[in-house]
Amino acid sequence: MNKRTAPLIVAVAILTTIHRHVVTGLHSIGVRPESFGVVWTVGVSIVMLSFAILEAVAYYHLSRAFQSANTPQTRRNIVILGAFNFLVIALVNAPSLAADAQGLLTADYLRDTYPTFFWMDSILLWSFGQTVISGITVVSTFYAEAVIEDAEKSPPVRAKKPVTTMLPVSSKEPSRALKRAEQSYNNDAEIATALVDGEKVAQIARKLEAEMGITYSAAYGRVARIQQKIQKGEFGG
């Protein structure tokens, strides 16, 4: 989820509060919202459907933040924030669902069943919950975005595996390898010694070509013959 997602969620969350501001404004001038008839009903239904989708997106954002969190405390904060968000939504929606099941308006259900809640008017408390839902969604989204962004800037440090370098056999005996590289082959015995030490026929032939001024094929043939004698056990130096 890119960095523009959080501001988009916040903007939509604020837009879904429009109907509440409209209700407040209409009542302040003595006009009842239901006077707009079906237009008002459809408008509020669209807004509420949008907010339901928005809540799902916000929870997805929180789940991503939980997976990205670098510390246990951050994960606990996300769990607490998500649980509190869910609790407020449940408390706000439960009275409406209960009222609908009994064929009542939410206000009538609350007035008849729970006129007060902890010495507070239940309808006022329910209206307060309706108002803070959007704010909780905004706060949750911004917090989730901050956690994800922080995780991207400072990912968890993982221990690096030790790198084992495989050294060539000759590097275990540097003095011997260096001696062979600088060696001149003045006779067959020295060539035989180099072969026994593991030097390749082609390498020796190149050196003979450079040092003695003979052709590569002649040098290669000489070294190859010495190698054959060694393999047959016929070379006596």
Domain final position from 93, 119, 153: 153
Note whether 93 and 174 are same-domain residues. no
Note whether 127 and 177 are same-domain residues. no
Alpha carbon distance 189, 70 (integer Å): 69
Note whether 143 and 197 are same-domain residues. no
Whole domain around residue 37: which residue ranges? 5-153
Note whether 67 and 29 are same-domain residues. yes
| pTM, two decimal places | 0.54
- Taking only the tens place, the pLDDT of each residue in 123-134 is 888 888 888 888
Distance of CA 211 to the CA centre of its chain: 62
Q: Is residue 131 part of a domain?
A: yes
Alpha carbon distance 235, 112 (integer Å): 117
Choose between 170 and 226: higher pLDDT: 226
Give one DSSP letter per residue of 52-109, joined into a string.
Answer: HHHHHHHHHHHHHHHHH-SSHHHHHHHHHHHHHHHHHHHHHHHHHHHHHHTT--HHHH
Q: Please tell me the predicted confidence (pLDDT) of residue 15.
A: 80
Note whether 10 and 119 are same-domain residues. yes
To the nearest whole number, what is the mean pLDDT of the chain? Answer: 78
Domain final position from 119, 153, 187: 153
Domain final position from 127, 153, 179: 153
Alpha carbon distance 183, 193 (integer Å): 11
Q: Please tell me the predicted confidence (pLDDT) of residue 76.
A: 92
Q: Is residue 162 part of a domain?
A: no
Note whether 82 and 138 are same-domain residues. yes
| Nearest partner of 106 among 124, 133, 85, judged by Cα | 124
